[in-house]
Chains A and B, each alone.
Chain A
Amino acid sequence: MKRTGDSLLLILGILVLWQVLYWLAGDIALTSPTGTAEHLWKLLGTARFWGHAAETARAFAFAVAISLVGGVALGVLLGLNRTSGVVSEPILIALYSLPKVTLYPLVLLCFGLGMSAKVAFGAMHGLIPVTIFTMKAIMQIKPVFWRTAHVMRLTPRQMAFTIALPAVLPEVIVGARLGFSLTLLGVLIGEMFASQRGLGFMIMSAMGLGDMATIMAVAVFLSVFAIAANALLMWLDRAIPR
């Protein structure tokens, strides 16, 4: 109960801060919370908005699927062997902290404009954190678990489902949470540069028109979606029995 109260307080605090900023910065820079809500409500009623949102959702779904499946597979593959794990970790971390926007032209030249470039760009952002977390989780499984499994003569299949999976699941969910938000960011940035559809494009074209209300409304819509998804994954993380 106290947690809910705190969250409400936080939201209220953010709204008050926003309103104050609005009074300070004025109409050109920001729209007020109520103005943004109104505009968002109006946008939600238009088919144009949902067309863009569906396009983003489709690219995002593909990219997240690639990030999660690919990241977990790659992480398991690299983590099972200690040497390959130790060898690849710094390389993965270096790739992770690279400003991947820089590589955008490369992605465009390889994939062309459109859907596949967006998906590739999103997956590029999300794949590596999932890989890193899965790999570290596999490497950190206590050796005694494996020995116990040998003593009990478990088949590889049993080992995977009764030992490896439960042991790595919490870490993988943390990785998935990070991968999820980074993939979303990747897809949106991709749409901002080279797309004629999607919410990122909508923001970019609103930016060209100086249409602050639309920028704020779409940004808020995306933030609420991202925070809700994040909260869901965090809840999932807590719900797993340890």
Chain B
Amino acid sequence: MNRRILSREGWIRLAVIVASTAAFEALCRAGFIPRTAVLPPSEMATSLWHILRTGEYNKDILSTLQNVVASAALSVTFGFAFGVVLHALPRLRATVEPLLASYYAIPTFMFYPVFIVVFGVSSRAIIAIAVLLSIVAMIASTLTGLDRIPRVLRKTALIYRMSTPKRAVLIDFPAAAPHLFTGIKLAFAYAFIGVIASEFILSGQGIGYAIAYAYNNFDNRNMYGLMLLVILLATAANTALDTIDRRLQNRSRR
């Protein structure tokens, strides 16, 4: 059923998106939405095209992407490691579990100033807050993945008399992989949010900073161009990761 380019629902979805964009454009052009507030989508697109062609913001875009990748990589690595350790120590896990469950209730960004004082206004402060935001998703996914390894697989490993490292590589890791991927997806999404938001609050470069700067200078054209860039980047990355995630989940359900 996935073989067709788009399902019926996919076509409707596309139609809905196109129609709402067109309606938005029409409302802007007709003057119902003042130009000082929002630009029509077509002008956002031309502005984005201009930004990409002139390379005016390349440094900011690059710095944001670097920070996102660095934070996501750190979160995935350490989140996985913490997850494995917690899984191996049930007593510690029982103690930490309530924190994991209510972690995302804490407004993490309120601690950004602390990191700014420690690291200065730099990429390191941004990466620190992004890691803080995304690592727990990875820890939780690792725990779920390890919990859901079917017991029959463990028994099979026992019958084959596998050593622990061999079992980890041949049985545990592949069995937990779909959940680990969900963790990677979430870590990436949270890292993106963390980086852009910190850049927005206080920083010297990056897309978030550029948008805030354009806003403060009433530079609507560049601001909406960059905003469109963020929306497209985030949607493309999340949709791609989500598609792979769904495939993996379906495969493990067979």
Contacts and interface: CB of A to CB of B under 8 A. Distances in A.
Nearest to B195: A99
Given A87-B9, A210-B117, A215-B114, A178 B36 contact: no
Contact of B208 (A9, A14, A101): A101
B77 interface: no
A191 to B, nearest CB: 11
A90 B239 contact: yes
Contacts of A83: 8-9, 12
Interface in A10-47: 10, 13-14, 25, 28-30
Chain B binding surface SS class: helix
Contacts of A215: 110, 113-114
Nearest to B20: A91
Interface in B225-254: 227, 230-231, 234-235, 238-239, 242
A196 interface: no
- Chain B, interface residues (CB within 8 Å), range: 35 or more
Nearest to A109: B37
Interface string A92-136: 011001111111111011100000000000000000000000000
Contact of A6 (B94, B105, B223): B94
B227 A185 contact: no
B104 A99 contact: no
Interface residues of A, number: 58
Given A25-B118, A28-B117, A99-B193, A10 B96 contact: yes
Interface of B: 8-9, 12-13, 16-17, 36-38, 94-96, 98-99, 101-102, 104-107, 109-111, 113-114, 116-118, 189, 192-193, 196-197, 200-202, 208, 211-212, 215, 223, 227, 230-231, 234-235, 238-239, 242
